[in-house]
Amino acid sequence: MAKKRSTPETKAVTADRAARLYKLLRLLGAGPQKRSNLTKRLRLDVRAFYRDLETLHAWGISVQLVNHRYVLEADADEAIALLPFPDPRLTLGEVQQLAKGRSKAHRKLQRLMAQIVK
């Protein structure tokens, strides 16, 4: 099972990169893939591909190279749930509204709001 590492909140991604990471995990979720297939399908150069693998690793998502193919170590849906969400550009009022509740996600939004409205 993939497990999120304790990474800084500043490790944000753009919407385009989040979409690409999502697609990468979906491709890997279908089974082992060669790097050439992944870079072609994602329209990436090799350097960008490795940066994306580093980003996944930073968020606790393990992708291993086995027999010249990349393999996702966890279930794709579990891994996708760990991906960082791009900046949603919400207003403070919208965040306050979304922070109402008692779930882990609500508490996270509450902590973020507290940092802003000290």
15-82 CATH pick, 3.90.1010.10, 3.40.640.10, 1.10.10.10, 2.60.40.10: 1.10.10.10
If we measure between CA atoms, which residue out of 77, 53, 76 comes closest to residue 65?
53
What are 7-43's pLDDT values in tens digits? 444 467 888 999 999 999 999 999 999 999 999 999 9
Question: Domain residues of the chain, as ranges?
Answer: 15-82, 88-118
What are 72-94's pLDDT values in tens digits? 999 999 999 999 888 787 888 88
pLDDT band at residue 6 under the 50/70/90 scheme: very low
Q: pTM of the entire structure? A: 0.78
Kindly provide the b/e burial profile for residues 45-83, where b requires at least 16 CB atoms within 10 angstroms of the residue's own CB: eeeebeebbebbeebbbebeeeeeebebebebeebbebb
